[in-house]
Every structure is written in C-alpha cells, then in structure tokens.
Amino acid sequence: MMLAFPLPRYLTPFLQAPALLALLWLLLALAGPWVAPYLPGEVVSTTVFAPISARHWLGTDYLGRDVLTRLLYGTSSTVLLCAASTVMACGAGAFLGMMAALKRGMTDTLLSRFMDGVISIPSLLSGLVAVATFGSSVPVLVLAMACIYLPGSYRTCRMLALSIVQKDFILAARMRGEKTSYLVVREILPNMAGPVLTDVGLRFIYAVRLLSNLSFLGVGLQPPQTDLGSLTRENLLGLVYGAPAVIAPALAIAFLTVGLNLALDGKGRHQ
C-alpha cells in the first residue's frame, strides 16, 4: 500500500520496451521446460549436429539430443540464475547505498572504501576464485554473482540517494522528525526508481555475460544442468559444420543482452 501510490508515475517510462522485453524472457524462462518437446538429457537421434528439420526445429547436438529442448532449459537456468543474483545484488546495493547516503560519516566511508576494493577485482577473476574455492553449484554461482555486482549497484544507488538526500524536502521531513523508514520508502525511493530500474537491467546483462563466460570456460553450471554458455561450449565442434546447435545458444545470448541493452538505451534517450 505504501509503495502503491507514488511508484506508478515513475514506472510509466519503464513500463515500455525494456520491461516488456524482460517480462517476455522471464515468461520464456518459466514456461520453457514445460513446452520443451523432449527431455533435456534424452538422446533422440542417431545423427549428431543434424541441421534444422521438422522433427528437430534447431537440429541435434553433439550427442544427438534435441537442441530446442536443451536451449529452452538453458535459457531458463541462465535467466533465472542471473535474475536471482541481480535482484539480490541490487536489493542489497540499494539498501546499503541509501543507508550510506542517509548516515554519511563513518558508515559511508567504510562502506564506500570496502565496495571500491571489491569493484577493483575483475568480475571474471572473482567468479573463478569463488568457484575454485567453494566448488561450482547453483547457490555458489548465484551468491558469487550477487557479491560481484553489489558494489556497482551500491555506488549507483548511493550517488542517486546522495543527490536526493541533499534536497530540501528531505530536510523538511527530517525537521518534522520522520523516521528513517519513512524517508526511504516515501521520500527517497520514488525519486530514484527510474534510474535504479535501468541500473538493474544493466546489471542483469552483466550477469548473463559473466555466467555465460564461466560456463563457456567449463566452471559454470555443471552437467546435467545446462545454460546458454555451456551449450555453446559443448557444441563448439559443430562450428565447422555450421550446425544450429552452436549458433542457436550464441544467438540467444546475443538477443538477451543486446536486445535488453538497446531497449534500455532507447528508454534513456526518450527521457
């Protein structure tokens, strides 16, 4: 109820292309496994790297499994994993960023220095280190990606919140004696919702790229689970035949990242 009132006005620009696109991918991720024609691990053909046919819309892979099925499962895990880690990263980032902006002083300095330290490590490197230390599993991957993208989100939110906190309407509310929770929910969040949502979109794209990279290097999701990166990797041999098995997942990654990026860009230009 608290959020229901002010948000819609600031969501309207976002409720256009980027949000629709994100929704579409999310739907695909959730429904994919249900509509897939075969089981993901099932060997359904004797030909490997088969071309497009009526039975196998995207051909078969290096073991003779149905590529469409595996692509649907792979898309599902990529999108859901990345979405989960993005939500965690941005949720924590926004919370800490706003706290730092509101409290200033020591809290702000310590948090900011720490985040600067984390952000200076290349994301692929920290991903590899996390996997090497804790092994590769879904929780480790999600948490590692959340930690990797938290500082960036923190920085964006802190900057946005700082510029809002210095406005006189926050001063007026503070002089009234309003609680911090009221300041955050009613006065600060609604004024940064637009840029923060754009930032969430960007972090999601980074996460997709990182997960795909890790999986392509063979340290991401482990078989029998698949994602877009590992699909590309395992079918790499098919490249010489021009098999859809390797082209399809690579294109899916491109559509996911570039499409969302363009949509966000277009929205930015509109504003």
Partner 1 sequence: MSGHSPPPLITVRNLCLTGRRATGPETTIVSNVSFDVAEGEMLALIGESGSGKTSIALALTGYARTGCRIAQGELRVAGHDVRTMGASELRSFRGKTIAYIAQNAGAAFNPALPLMEQVIEPALTHHILPRKEAVDHAIALFEMMALPTPHTIGARYPHECSGGQLQRIMAAMALITEPEVVIFDEPTTALDVTTQIEVLEAFRVAMRQCGFTGVYVTHDLAIVAQMADRAVVLKNGSVQEEGPTGQILNKPTQSYTRQLVAASQPHLRNHDALPPATPLLDVQNLMVGYGAIMPNGHPRHTIVNSVSLPVRAGETLGIIGESGCGKSTLIRAIAGIQPWSGGNMFFAGEPLPPRIEDRTPQQRQHLQLVAQNADLVLNPALSVGATLRRVLTFYNEDASDAALNRVLDMVRLPAAVAGRYPTQLSGGQKQRVNLARALAARPRLVLCDEITAALDTVVAAAILDLMMELKRELGVSWLFVTHDLHALRSVCDHVAVLYAGHCVEFSTASALNAPPRHPYTRKLESSVPEMHPGWLDGVIRQNGLKPGRVAPIPAHGCCYMPRCPVAVADCAQTPPPTWQAPSGALINCHLQAPDLS
Contact positions vs partner 1 (CB under 8 A)? 5-6, 9-10, 167-169, 171-172, 174-178, 186-187, 190-191
Q: Do residues 85 and 207 make contact, with C-beta atoms less than 8 angstroms apart?
A: yes
Q: How far is the CB of 167 from partner 1 (least distance, A)?
A: 5
Q: How far is the CB of 189 from partner 1 (least distance, A)?
A: 8
Q: Do residues 93 and 153 make contact, with C-beta atoms less than 8 angstroms apart?
A: yes
Query: Tokens 């004797």, residue?
Result: 46
Tokens representing residue 15 in the block: 């409720």
| Of residues 12 and 47, the one with the C-beta less far from partner 1 | 12
Q: How far is the CB of 199 from partner 1 (least distance, A)?
A: 18
| Of residues 47 and 109, the one with the C-beta less far from partner 1 | 109
| Of residues 97 and 238, the one with the C-beta less far from partner 1 | 97
| Of residues 56 and 267, the one with the C-beta less far from partner 1 | 267
| Of residues 6 and 91, the one with the C-beta less far from partner 1 | 6
Q: How far is the CB of 9 from partner 1 (least distance, A)?
A: 7
Alpha carbon 94 to its chain's center: 15
Alpha helix (H) residue ranges in 12-62: 17-35
Query: Tokens 């098995």, residue?
Result: 245
Q: Give strand pairing partners of 60.
A: 66
Alpha-carbon distance 51 to 49, whole Å? 6
| Of residues 99 and 145, the one with the C-beta less far from partner 1 | 99
| DSSP per position, 110-179 | HHHHHHHHHHTS-HHHHHHHHHHHH-S-HHHHHHHHHHHHHHHHHHHHHHHHHHHHTSHHHHHHHHHT--
Q: How far is the CB of 126 from partner 1 (least distance, A)?
A: 36
Q: How far is the CB of 173 from partner 1 (least distance, A)?
A: 8
